[in-house]
Amino acid sequence: MTKPNTPLSPSQQVDAKKSFSQWQSLSPWSMLSFSFGATKAILTNGYALIPIFFAGWQNGFNLQLGVIAALIMMTLLSIFAFIQWRKYRFKLNTQQLNIKRGLLFTRKDEIPFNKIQNIRFEQPFYFKPLKLGTLVIETAGSKDDEAHLAALNAKDAALIKQQLLQLTPDANQSDLNQTLSTNSQSADDSEVESHAKGQTNSPSITLVFKRDLKQLVQFGFYQNNLIWLAVIAGPIIGQVNWEEIAEIPVIQQIWTRIVSFSGESIALQVASGALLFVFIYCLFSLISILAAVLKYYPYRLEKRQQTLQRSGGVISHQQDALAIKRVQLLHFCQPVLARIFGVWTLYLKQVKGQEVEQKAAQHMLLPTVKTAEIAATLNKIPELAVGNQGIPKSYQSIALAWFTRRGCIAFLPAVLLTIAEGVTVVTLAIWLAALIIMGLTFLRYKQWGYVIEADAVWQHTGLLSRNWKRIPFSKVQHVSITQTKGQKSKGYAYLTLGLASGSLTLPYINQQDAHLIAEKAMIRTKLDSSNWI
C-alpha cells in the first residue's frame, strides 16, 4: 500500500529523471517473478491435463520418474528466469518507455506514454518482505501485457507509475518534462495504516467504492462458473470405480436415508437429487469464493485526478490504475444468483486487443453493487456522465420478427425427420428439443431491448441473467445500419455500433430509432473526436 502523492523537491525531480533516462537492469530478485509467472502460465492452461494425471495415478505412479520430471522442470524454469533477467532492460525518455529483451532474437518495444491504458502494481507474497513489486503495463489495442517491470522497489515503482499515468496524448514537450518530475509515493507503515482506514491527505483523492469480506464472499458465490466443474469433473467421473465407492459405509448410510425419506415418491426423489446438486455446487463455489477474497480483499476503488485506482489482495497485493478516458462503456452484469441477491457486477470496459474476448477478465470491475448504490457510486466519477438515474427501469423491446424467424427454424429438422421416418421415439425427442430451443429463444427475445438517452444508448440483453451496457455516443467510432428487403418494408433495421472495446448490435429495432442513434453518435463525434482512443 502506498500513501497519497507527495511533491518531490527540485533536486529529487532531477535525480529521479536521470535515474531512468539510461538503460536499467532489473533486480536479480526478478528471477523469482519470471519463474512464478512461467509456472502460473503452465498451471493456468493445464486444466485439460487433470484427467490425464488422474488416470496415470489410478494406473500406478512411478515416484522416481516423478522426481526426475520435477527436477528437469525446475532446472528449465531457472534457466529461463536467468536469461530473462540478464537480457531485460528498460529506460524512460520524455515521450515513451523503451524495453528490450531476448537472447537469440532481441525484441525492442517502444511504448508511447499516450498509448498506455492500464498500469497495475503487483506485490506477490515473496516480494512483500523485500518491499519490492512489479509494474504491469497494458497499452490500448495490445494482445498481451506490453511490459512487466519486475522486482522494482516500491518507491521507484510508484514514481514510474505516476509518470506514465499523468502524461496526456496532446502534451507538448515541456508538459512531458514537467510531468516526468511531478509526484512520488512512499510506503512507511504508519501511512499504510491510515490509508487502510480511509484517511487521505490529498483533496484530489476520492473514495469511490469499497467492499468488505462478506460482500466479496457473496461475489465469489454468485460469480461461480459451473462449466469448469463439468470440464474438470466430467473426464474424472469416467475413471472412478463407482462400485467401490458405493460400498463405502458412509455412502451406503446416506443412500439409505435418501431412499427411506423419498420412498416411492418421484417428486421427493427429484428433490433429493436437486439438493445433492446444490450441495456439490456449493462445494465447488468455495474455490470461486476463496479466489475472490484472496484477489480483492480489502477492495477499495479511488479516483486520483483522472485515474481510477483499485487496491486489494491478501497474498498478492495489487494496485490497478486505469485512465478514466480509456473507459469505453459500462457493463452491468447480473447472473442468475445475483438476481436473487439483488446485486450487480459493474465492468469498466476498456480498449480491446486483437484477441477480442480473451482480455475481458482484465477489465476493472466493481463487485456486489446494489441497485440503490449505482447512481451514487458513479456520480463520484462525473467523467462517465451517468447522471442520477442509474440503470433504466424499463426498455424498448426489439421486434417480434426476431423471435419468429429463429424460433420456427428450430422445428425444421423435426418436421423433415417426421415426414421421412414418421412418429418414432427419435422424432419425438427431436420435437422436444425443438420446443426447448424455442423456449430459450423466446426468453432471449424478451431480454433484448434498448433505451435512448441524450448522450448515450443502453443495450439490454440476457437469457436467465441480465446485462445492461451503457454506450456513450462520444465513444462510438463507426455506425452500420443494415436492412433486408423484408426488414425495410416493415420498418426494422440492424444497428451496429463500433467502439474501441468492440462492436455492439441492436437487432430488429425501429429504423427511425436506428437513424436517430446514428445521428446522435456522429454529431457528437464531429463536435469532439478526442474522446476516441
The tens digit of pLDDT for each residue in 398-457 reads 999 999 888 888 888 888 888 888 888 888 888 999 999 999 999 999 999 999 998 899
- What are 73-115's pLDDT values in tens digits? 889 888 888 988 888 999 888 788 889 888 777 888 888 887 7
pLDDT for the residue 53: 60
Rounded to an integer, the average pLDDT of 30-49 is: 73
Q: Residue 186: pLDDT band by 50, 70, 90 thresholds?
A: very low
Residue 359: which residues within 8 A CB-CB, separation 6 or more? 143, 352, 353
Among candidate residues 417, 412, 406, 410, the one with its CA nearest the CA of residue 434: 410
Q: What is the pLDDT of residues 314-343, one digit of tens each?
A: 887 888 888 888 888 899 999 988 998 999
Residue range 26-50: mean pLDDT, rounded = 75
Q: Most confidently modeled of 35-44, 75-84, 107-116, 381-390?
A: 75-84
Question: Which of these, 40, 37, 501, 4, lies nearest to 300 by C-alpha position?
Answer: 4
100 SS3 class? strand
In the predicted model, is pLDDT for residue 5 greater than 90? no
Give the Cα separation of 141 and 343 in Å (integer).
31
User: Mean pLDDT in the chain?
Assistant: 77
The 10 Å Cβ neighbour count of residue 414 is 18
Which of 149-158, 161-170, 331-340 is most confident?
331-340
Closest of 99, 117, 116, 121 to residue 108, by C-alpha: 99
Query: Which residues are CB-contacts of 135 (< 8 A; sequence separation ≥ 6)?
Result: 119, 120, 121, 147, 148, 149, 152, 157, 160, 161
- Domain locations in the chain as residue ranges: 6-197, 216-294, 327-398+448-531, 401-445
pLDDT of residue 61: 61
pLDDT of the residue at 144:
56
Residue 314 vs residue 204, higher pLDDT: 314
Average pLDDT over residues 202-227: 82
β-pair partners for 280? none
Instruction: With 0.75 as the threshold, say if the pTM is over it.
Output: no
Q: Please name the residues in contact with 113: beta carbons below 8 A apart, sequence gap of 6 or more.
A: 95, 96, 97, 164, 167, 176
